Amino acid sequence: MGLQQSAAVMAGLADGSQVVLDTDGCIMQWFGQERKVEVVEAENMGIQNERTAYM
């Protein structure tokens, strides 16, 4: 996604396993205002060629 990694968090999956997910800091426009947000990025979580970001 081209974002700068700022941290990492532990996440529990439905099967009971634990994974480490990167968090990326970014600034986005929201109704004309700039907002600093952290995005949790998950890659290849069992689905081929899947890349998802959660804000």
The pLDDT of residue 33: 94
Task: Give the integer Cα–Cα distance in Å for 2 and 5.
Answer: 9
**How does pLDDT run across 25-51, given as a tens digit for each residue?**
888 898 999 998 888 876 655 554 445
According to DSSP, the residues that pair with 2 across neighbouring strands are none
What range does the domain containing 35 cover?
A: 4-54
> Average of pLDDT values for 11-33?
87
pTM over 0.75: no
The pLDDT of residue 15: 87
The pLDDT of residue 1: 59
According to DSSP, the residues that pair with 5 across neighbouring strands are 24
The pLDDT of residue 31: 94
Count of structural domains, the chain: 1
